[in-house]
Each structure stands twice: as structure tokens, then as C-alpha cells.
Chains A and B, each alone.
Chain A
Amino acid sequence: MTGDDERLLEDLLEGKHRALARVISKIEDRSPGYRDLVSKLYAHTGEADVIGITGSPGAGKSTLVDKLAETYRERGETVGIIAIDPSSPFSGGAVLGDRIRMGSTIGDMDVFVRSMSARGTLGGLSTATADAVKAMDAFGKDKIIIETVGAGQNEIDIVRTADTVAVLVPPGSGDDVQTLKAGILEIGDVFVVNKADRDGADRTVQELRDMVAMDAGDSVSMSGGHHGADSMAMLEDHPDDEAHADWDGGDTDAGDTDDWVPPIVETVATRAVGVEEFIDELENHQTYLVDSGTRAEMARKRYAEEIRTLLREDVHGLLEDELERAGGVDDLAEAVRNGETDPYTIADELLDPVEASLAELERD
């Protein structure tokens, strides 16, 4: 690590806002040395509660996050917010507008709002988000909120960085609730019917309730539902026991009977109605995670996924170089178009030297 980066890390741990902002930029830009920086952050993490908030555009996410942050601040807790907006796939540019709706805590530096956009790399944003969460955690934030539009797999991956995921459903979604089922339902630990003063809110609550009840019925036969703790894996020692000791609490065979059933909360975010109840449910879920041992299980899964993603990115980088050496992808693609070869052959040829050198390593 360079001297600059060391100073940056020191400043971040001391609580300098500028340093936190700069570290997150390095993470986003993947600028040289960011990996060393992030790996140094890990020793200082594990204290923050991470909450993910997702929902369709216009569901009121930013407004609710704003009120959530305000309430946490009233309780004396510091807050970090990562607001994710899509970027244009054409220009790569983005207008990140969530900040506008976060007016309640404006001027309060203990609410650190950071806007991020997808920069067009496969899975890159979820890695960057996870790393940015680490930076805020190491900085000493008590609560970290990730806000994203729940539209596709990418967003679901992002929100999985959180311990607790809240899904916002606007009233009158009707059939939309059915479509939610496909992906979003599985990731929701708490459902929020925002704009609950509007027509159709009761019906939406009822529909969600039916859906949750059906889901809970299913999971009894599937040993522990979607977060099911694996009691064998629980015995493994965590490498970072010191920092994450509290994650391993609780008995290991909770599951079938004490499974978490997602509660449904009604809020009117613009008037801060129902926010306290929402926070209570978030806290209940955090308690459940610790008591059931699920939090340790989730952390392990998350780290496994991080390791895999990093490796995939590294190998991808190596192969990009290899592709460059082979004359660039354009020429190869042209060769396929002319019927001279096919993608499978090219992939095999490119991988051959890599496999050969790996085999050589094994012999040594």
C-alpha cells in the first residue's frame, strides 16, 4: 500500500468525511491499489447493521430512507446511505437524483449519502456496493442503508449485501404483486406498503399477507426457508472471529419452527407515518438473525460470493489480456462471421495456454 493510501485509511478510521468519500471513489473507479485498501478495511468492520431497501420506481424509497435516517439520528445513531441509480447504457452517464428527496437530514454530516451508478461491468456494482458498505462500516456508521430500484438480477445482488431487505410495494399494485413473486418476494424480509393512505392499500396488504402465508407454508417442508441455517457449517471457525463474534450467537437448529415470517408494515413516508413501526420490524429481524444463527450463515455465504466474484473478475481480466494478445476480439469475431472458425474453438485455443500453465504448476 502506498503512503497516500495509508494516510487515507488512517483518516477514514479517524472519521474524516473527505477520506471516506475518497475511499468510496477509489472503490468505484477501481483505481490502482483499491484492493489493498479494501482488504485493510475488513479488520474494522462488522459493527454496522446493513439494511437494503428496494421497490419499483416511484414507490417512495428515497422518501422513506430519508425519514428512516431522520429517526435514527434522533436516536443518536449515525447513518450511511448508498443510493443506487441506473446509468445510461449508451453514454455511461447518469443523473443521480435520490439526494434531492433526502431533505430531512440535509446539513447533518453524520448522515453520509453517497450516490452510485452502474458503470457497465458485470456484477461490478454489487462488488463496489459491498466494498462501499465496508468503508462506511469501518468509518463507524451504526446503520447503513442501501437503496436501489428493484428491477433485475443485478439489483437483487446488490441488495443482498444487506442483512435485512425491505421491499416497498405501492398500493394498487394488483397484478404487480403477482409479478413481484418471481424474484423480489424471496429477498424481502420486511414488506412495506408505502402511501398507505391511498385507495387500494388495504387490498395490497391483504394480497401480500396471503402471499407471505403461502410462502411460509411452503418452507416448512424445505428445512428452514430461504435463509435456512446449515447446522454443520456452523461448526466451522470464522477467520475473523474477533470482529464478528456476535454473529455466531444463538442455537443452530432453529429453523423449521422459528422461521422468519416477513411482516407487512404500512407507512406514509411523506408524513413519517409508520416509520417507528418499520424500524421496530427491522430491529426484530436483526435480533432474529443473531438468535437463529442465520446472520453467521448469511455472512459466510456473502463472503463466499465475494471471493467467487473477485476471482471471476481477476480471471476475466487475465483472459481479456490474452484476448488482446490473440489479436483482439473484433478480428476473432470477424473470423467467425466468415465461417473460418467458431466461438467454441476460439475459446478452447485461448484457454489452452492458461490450462497448460496451471497443469505445470500442479506438477511442481
Chain B
Amino acid sequence: MSSEQEGESIRCLVAKVGLDGHDRGAHVISRAFRDAGFEVIYSGLHKAPDDIVQAAVQEDVDVLGISILSGAHNTLVPKIIDGLEEYDAADDTLVLVGGVIPEEDRPELKDEGVAAIFGPGTSIEETIEFVRDNAPER
């Protein structure tokens, strides 16, 4: 039925979690995602991991981009992923982390289920490309 073929759009949640007031990066990426044709939901600042899980589940996002510049990624990111698992949402949500993540912390985050980590200097195009290639098929 051709009337059922209407546009599927990649849905992203851009999330700021924990005590970290720097959201310039999150704003820039939200805008870039929008311009790439994605639907972006921005969480706002200072959200708890549970809040992020709630938003990701309810909005049924394909992509969850977590921006962390506070250094608390080792505690916050696993909490979010555990929460997603609780709602059976972990498998088909592409979890990305952006921010200042030291090299030695990366393997562990990847083990937790983070698909990619984008550090300082990553180009916007690279991130968009990655999302397009890896957003889960529904």
C-alpha cells in the first residue's frame, strides 16, 4: 500500500546528564542533526540517568547521544544502559557518547554497549555519517 510508505525519520535524543553545565556541544550537534533531516529531542541540562532512560523509551529513539564533559561517564553511562535494558530498549538503540573521554576508559564503555565515542575534534559530518550508517533498522 503506497500510503503506508511515508517517510521514516531517524529519531535522536541528545542528552546532557549529571552535573555538567556545558551544553554548547549538545546544541551544535542537535542543530546539525536537525539539518541532516533527523528528528532531535534535546533533554536539557542536569538530567539524571533515569530521566534520560524515560525520555529514550517514551520517544522510542533510534539514537541516544550522551554528552558528558564532567568526567563522570564511568558511573553515568552504565546506569543509562542498564535502564534501557530494563525496558528492553538497549538492543535497538544506538548509544553514542560525546565529550572528553580518556582513552583508557573507552574499552569499558564500549563493553557496556556504547557504539561509538566522539571526542574533541570530531567533525560533525563524521558523526552524522556514523548515525546514518548505524541507526538500527526498524
Contact = CB atoms under 8 A, between A and B. Distances in A.
Contact of B51 (A24, A92, A107): A107
A107 B2 contact: no
Interface string A80-120: 00000001100111111101100100110100111101011
Interface in A104-143: 106-107, 109, 112-115, 117, 119-121, 124
Nearest to A116: B39
Contact of A21 (B48, B50, B51, B57): B57
A314 interface: yes
Nearest to B44: A100
B8 to A, nearest CB: 4
A191 interface: no
Contacts of A88: 34-35
Assign chain B's interface to a size class: 35 or more
Interface stretch (A26-34, A217-225, A277-285, A327-335): A26-34
Contacts of A112: 58
Nearest to B89: A18
Contacts of A22: 60
Interface string B43-69: 110011011001101111000000000
A126 to B, nearest CB: 14
A93 B40 contact: yes
A187 to B, nearest CB: 26
A93 B59 contact: no
Contacts of B43: 99-100
B21 to A, nearest CB: 15
Contacts of B3: 30, 313-314, 316-317
A243 interface: no
B83 to A, nearest CB: 11
Contacts of A320: 2
B25 interface: no
A94 B10 CA distance: 11
B111 interface: no
B118 interface: no
Interface string B113-136: 000000000000000000000000
A106 B51 contact: yes
B57 A18 contact: yes
A71 interface: no
Interface in A1-51: 17-18, 21-22, 24-25, 29-32, 34-35
A24 B58 CA distance: 9
B14 to A, nearest CB: 9
Assign chain A's interface to a size class: 35 or more
A321 interface: yes
Contacts of B138: 25, 29, 31
Contacts of B37: 91-93
Interface string A293-332: 0000000000000000000011011101100000000000
Contacts of B48: 107
B42 A97 contact: yes
Contacts of A115: 39, 41, 59
Contact of A35 (B4, B40, B89): B4
Interface string B3-37: 11111110100000000000000000011011111
Contacts of A97: 41-42
Contacts of A29: 6-9, 138
A25 B60 contact: yes
B86 to A, nearest CB: 10
Given A34-B4, A100-B43, A92 B9 contact: yes
B88 interface: yes
Nearest to B56: A21
A107 B50 contact: yes
Contact of A93 (B1, B2, B33, B42): B33
Given A17-B58, A93-B39, A121 B34 contact: no
Contacts of A314: 1, 3
A114 B6 contact: no
B54 A107 contact: yes
B8 A21 contact: no
B58 A93 contact: no
21 contacts: A17-B58, A21-B58, A24-B60, A29-B138, A30-B5, A34-B4, A35-B1, A88-B35, A93-B9, A93-B33, A93-B38, A99-B41, A99-B43, A99-B55, A107-B54, A109-B54, A113-B59, A119-B6, A124-B6, A314-B1, A317-B4
